[in-house]
Chains A and B, each alone.
Chain A
Amino acid sequence: MSLLLGFAYGLAAVGLIAGGAVIGVWWERKVAGRIQLRLGPQQLGPAGVFQMLADVPKLLFKEDIVPYGADRPTFRYAPMLVFAPIAASVAVVPFWAGWAPLDSVVGVAFFLAVPSVAVLGMLLSAWASHNTLSTIGGMRAAAQMVSYEVPRTLAVLSVVVLAGSLQPTEITGAWRWWWVPLTAVGFLVYLIASVAEMNRGPFDLPEAESELVAGYFADYSGFRWAIFMMAEYGSMIAAALFGTALFLGGPAWFAGVGGLIAYVGVACVIITAIMWAKWTFPRMRQDHLMTFCWTVLTPLALVQLLVAGAVAVWL
């Protein structure tokens, strides 16, 4: 029974991420378009909403190219390894007050640890592509994702300390409004580190279009390429939802459907902000990125943790 339920949850998560990616891509194109004095998609449907519906079949039917010299099995299945952990991480998001698809007592640890497996998929796909640019992109991705795990974890820890639990439903249950000013820095660090984790601009070095063409997935086409895109958008959705739940209390505001709508709405605003940053700032350089991580974000997260810890002890 629980197996069946798990299967249903899995399907729902994939559906959520796929649907979210479709809407996210459309929305990103609209946002980027407006920032750049353009209209974005406009031909299909009102404001071009059906553009992505046309793009999905296009991606499905595109030729699945495996480059000459690539390690075929690895090349083929590496995208799954990127996508699956990110899809899995959605399981612990507390959508409803007191309810998450997988209401684990170590949910926070699950959320922070499981997506990190994706870095293996990126490295594998980069290596399997038999392409120097991809390899460099994969190496960058590994270095970046491993490094940014640290500030991200530290930032989340401040909330964990305050709530005294690793279970996301419990954290949202324990949430109080004054956590927001108290953990503001932590939330910022969490957001920045999450953006770096999901390889989005201005931290999109692994796929740096102007340097590495598309980095680790430069040689992918068709639907395998789309899986990478879905992984990116999935990770953005998961990070926004999870961050909103932990730092802003998400589903704890209102009970019932209203709570869910408000929660998802705020997450969408955060997603938009992430997109906005991508289209506003230039890309950083690898060494600057690392310096930023270790000399700015990590100390900030540590300070946040200390403050949160002090408050927790004082309480």
Chain B
Amino acid sequence: MSERLVVNIGPSHPSTHGVCRIVVELDGEIVTHAEPIIGHLHRGIEKMAENRTYLQIVPLTDRLDYVGSMYANWAYCRAVERLAGIRVPERAEYIRVIVCELQRIASHMMGIGSAAADTGAFTVFMYAFEQRELVVDLFEALCGSRLTYNYVRPGGVSADLPDGWVDRCRTFIKGHPDAMREIDRMLFGNVIFRARTKGIGVLDAADAVAWGASGPVARGSGVDYDLRRDDPYSMYPRFDFTVPLGERGDSYDRARVRLWECVESCRIVEQALDQLAEYEPGVIMTEGLPRLLAPGRGDAYDHIESARGCLGVYLVSDGGVCPYRMKVRSPAFSNLALLPLLATGHTLSDLIVVLGSLDPVFGEVDR
């Protein structure tokens, strides 16, 4: 029996994807126990929301998953719309789908890129970030912000697509799959990367379901579950897309599912842009919404498939202009809970790879 070494990874560490602290117990280089200590980024967003009007919460939701702000915007707005009984114009729904699929690309680029950087392939990180930049440029043209968009609003979206945006978007989704192929060959085909990720942090399908994993983490384990298809919301029933799945549930599958989801997102965006052309520009907001929403008493839960999985928002209203309680069901929180299960028995280097393949965003984990 050798002496155990307790290593404290984080809260400020290059590979914790934010501020997470992982207390790792090592036997040599083998992890015998890993415990994520979260909450370093806990800003009390749920408490703050109780003190803000429904519109003022939208910028707060930007700060939940700051890699995929559009998702939190949308999930929150869906909950508000369900609570207040607001019908959203179809054009706005299409725009939401488009921006959220672009956001999926942007977010997965971060996920793949940081998974690559975790294994030392920093160049792939930059290639992925180039693609993310292109998406972020599109978002900047759309809503004037590159990270915290504050774009999806209860009742619609805050601004219509600017002139020429559709063409720019088409150019991007045309070139994106090629860039993905390049990353696929350079990273996922690389012998070192495969050796680093294959068979590391295997999550079987039963565990994935029992632990409430969702998104690419669950799909990497072969759990064929995607809210876009299985609990269809918004305009998703009108699109044709496949849900890529992994077989083994190791870090490689989890990371590569993201890559193919980006390609699928391109397909969805393309279809959405085609269908959007039939709608009259400018109708992006429900007419006649009061400045201060005050839904009646009640509660509502709604969720969407974010880049990280099932992102739900639960709202309770007491009839006032501020929600009585807001709860964010964050996929990253549930997924991160798997880390001790997945990392135990692997080396310290693998722990980082497993964490990278779970792709947590701590703004969302800690809220």
> Is there any pair of Cβ atoms, one from A and one from B, under 8 angstroms apart in the complex?
yes
- Nearest A residue (CB) for B12: A213
Cβ of B296: which chain A residues have Cβ within 8 Å of it?
none
Cβ of A79: which chain B residues have Cβ within 8 Å of it?
none
Bound: A279/B6 CA distance, A: 32
B53 touches A (CB below 8 Å): no
A285-B13 in contact (CB<8A): no
Bound: A32/B120 CA distance, A: 13
A287-B347 in contact (CB<8A): yes
A208 touches B (CB below 8 Å): yes
B209 touches A (CB below 8 Å): no
- Nearest A residue (CB) for B351: A211
A35 touches B (CB below 8 Å): yes
Bound: A209/B126 CA distance, A: 16
Tell me the A265-315 residues at the B interface (CB within 8 Å): 279-288
Cβ of B122: which chain A residues have Cβ within 8 Å of it?
36, 279
B243 to chain A, nearest CB (A): 28
A210-B123 in contact (CB<8A): no
- Nearest A residue (CB) for B16: A210
B7-A282 in contact (CB<8A): no
Which segment, of B62-70, B168-176, B190-198, faces chain A?
B190-198
- Nearest A residue (CB) for B348: A211
Contact of A211 among B116, B193, B352 (CB under 8 A): B352
| Given known A204-B120, A210-B14, contact A36–B126 (CB-CB < 8 A) | yes
Cβ of B5: which chain A residues have Cβ within 8 Å of it?
132, 136
Cβ of B15: which chain A residues have Cβ within 8 Å of it?
210-211
Cβ of B116: which chain A residues have Cβ within 8 Å of it?
282
Cβ of B347: which chain A residues have Cβ within 8 Å of it?
285-287
B192-A209 in contact (CB<8A): no
- Nearest A residue (CB) for B352: A211
Tell me the A182-213 residues at the B interface (CB within 8 Å): 201-202, 204-205, 208-211, 213
Bound: A281/B190 CA distance, A: 8
B64 to chain A, nearest CB (A): 25
A38 touches B (CB below 8 Å): yes
Contact of B192 among A136, A281, A287 (CB under 8 A): A281
Tell me the A204-236 residues at the B interface (CB within 8 Å): 204-205, 208-211, 213
Chain A 28-58 near chain B by CB (<8 Å), digits 1 or 0: 0000100111100000000000000000000
- Nearest B residue (CB) for A279: B123
A201-B123 in contact (CB<8A): no
Chain A 11-36 near chain B by CB (<8 Å), digits 1 or 0: 00000000000000000000010011
A211-B349 in contact (CB<8A): yes
A133 touches B (CB below 8 Å): yes
**Chain B: interface residue total (CB-CB under 8 A):** 32
Bound: A281/B130 CA distance, A: 19
| Given known A132-B8, A287-B347, contact A282–B121 (CB-CB < 8 A) | yes
B114 to chain A, nearest CB (A): 9
A37-B127 in contact (CB<8A): yes
Tell me the B314-367 residues at the A interface (CB within 8 Å): 347-350, 352
B287 touches A (CB below 8 Å): no
B204 to chain A, nearest CB (A): 23
Cβ of B127: which chain A residues have Cβ within 8 Å of it?
36-37
Most chain A beta carbons < 10 A, residue from B120, B127, B347, B350 = B120
Cβ of A213: which chain B residues have Cβ within 8 Å of it?
13-14
B120-A285 in contact (CB<8A): no
**Chain A: interface residue total (CB-CB under 8 A):** 27
Cβ of B187: which chain A residues have Cβ within 8 Å of it?
282
| Given known A133-B7, A136-B7, A209-B14, contact A280–B348 (CB-CB < 8 A) | no
- Nearest B residue (CB) for A132: B7
Cβ of A38: which chain B residues have Cβ within 8 Å of it?
126
A61 to chain B, nearest CB (A): 24
Bound: A204/B120 CA distance, A: 9
Chain B 3-32 near chain A by CB (<8 Å), digits 1 or 0: 001111100011100000000001001000
| Given known A136-B29, A282-B192, A286-B29, contact A35–B123 (CB-CB < 8 A) | yes
Bound: A284/B353 CA distance, A: 12
Cβ of A285: which chain B residues have Cβ within 8 Å of it?
195-196, 347, 349-350
Cβ of A201: which chain B residues have Cβ within 8 Å of it?
120
Cβ of B7: which chain A residues have Cβ within 8 Å of it?
132-133, 136
| Given known A136-B7, A281-B190, contact A210–B352 (CB-CB < 8 A) | yes
| Given known A202-B120, A209-B14, A210-B117, contact A284–B190 (CB-CB < 8 A) | no
B51 touches A (CB below 8 Å): no
Cβ of A208: which chain B residues have Cβ within 8 Å of it?
120, 349
Cβ of A202: which chain B residues have Cβ within 8 Å of it?
120, 192
B211 to chain A, nearest CB (A): 25
Bound: A211/B127 CA distance, A: 21
A269 to chain B, nearest CB (A): 20
Bound: A213/B13 CA distance, A: 7
B118 touches A (CB below 8 Å): yes
A283-B126 in contact (CB<8A): no
B192 to chain A, nearest CB (A): 5
B113 to chain A, nearest CB (A): 11
Bound: A35/B130 CA distance, A: 12
Bound: A36/B347 CA distance, A: 29
A282-B348 in contact (CB<8A): no
B234 touches A (CB below 8 Å): no
A288-B123 in contact (CB<8A): no
Bound: A85/B190 CA distance, A: 35
B348-A283 in contact (CB<8A): no
Cβ of A211: which chain B residues have Cβ within 8 Å of it?
15, 348-349, 352
B interface list, Cβ under 8 A from A? 5-9, 13-15, 26, 29, 116-123, 126-127, 130, 187, 190, 192-193, 195-196, 347-350, 352
A-B residue pairs in contact (CB < 8 Å), sample of 19: A37-B126, A37-B127, A132-B7, A133-B7, A133-B9, A202-B120, A213-B14, A279-B122, A279-B123, A280-B123, A282-B193, A282-B196, A283-B192, A284-B195, A284-B196, A285-B195, A285-B349, A286-B347, A287-B347
